Amino acid sequence: MDWSHYRFRRTWQLDAEPDAVYRVLERPDDYPAWWPQIREVRQTGDTTGMLRFRSLLPYDLVVSARSVRHDPSTRVLEAAMTGDLEGWFRWTITPGTVPGARTRLLYEQEVVVRKPLMRLLSVPCRPLFLANHALMMRGGRHGLLARLAADAAHVV
């Protein structure tokens, strides 16, 4: 087993229209405004950018991301990453599947950690790294819900 390899899958049921969720997620430059753990996003090209993020543990991760899928008709956003993490992540937005949820948001990510210190600590600290990711995703979910509520209030 490669202890520096991670696969993540999170499903969020949201009380917001799928197109509204897609519109927020397709603008990564705005992520730092609503996702506390994403500290910086800088566009470096038409479909590329640099992201810096930090959750609870005292280190930043920096990646270059390149959009590989930006499909409003299927509401799928996918990017490839290099840098401290190498791999990909994908958002898939579909109609909700539980009562009270208009949207089902699926986040998938597969990465290999390239940051040297994290690779060195990959075995003893794996539970901490997993918990750190879970906290980051929880922060993202709360921030996304707040952004969607604020956007809906401006429309009304």
Q: Of 131, 100, 95, 129, which Cα lies nearest the Cα of 112?
A: 129
pLDDT tens, position by position, 47-77: 999 999 999 999 999 999 999 999 999 999 9
Enumerate residues 6+ apart whose C-beta is below 8 A from 82: 63, 64
113 forms beta bridges with: 85
Q: Residue 58 and residue 65: Cα distance in Å, rounded? A: 22
pLDDT tens, position by position, 1-41: 799 999 999 999 999 999 999 999 999 999 999 999 999 99
DSSP helix/strand/coil, 98 = coil
Question: 68 near 78, Cβ under 8 Å?
Answer: yes
The count of structural domains within the chain is: 1
End-to-end CA distance of the chain: 52
Output the pLDDT for position 154: 78
Q: Of 38, 17, 16, which Cα lies nearest the Cα of 28?
A: 38
Output the pLDDT for position 1: 79
Distances (CA, A) of 55 to 14, 36, 48: 23, 8, 23
pLDDT (average), residues 107-129? 96
Query: What CATH number has the domain bearing residue 54?
Result: 3.30.530.20
- CA count, 13 A, side-chain hemisphere, 47: 10
Range of the domain at 26: 5-155
The alpha carbons of the chain give a radius of gyration, in whole angstroms, of 16
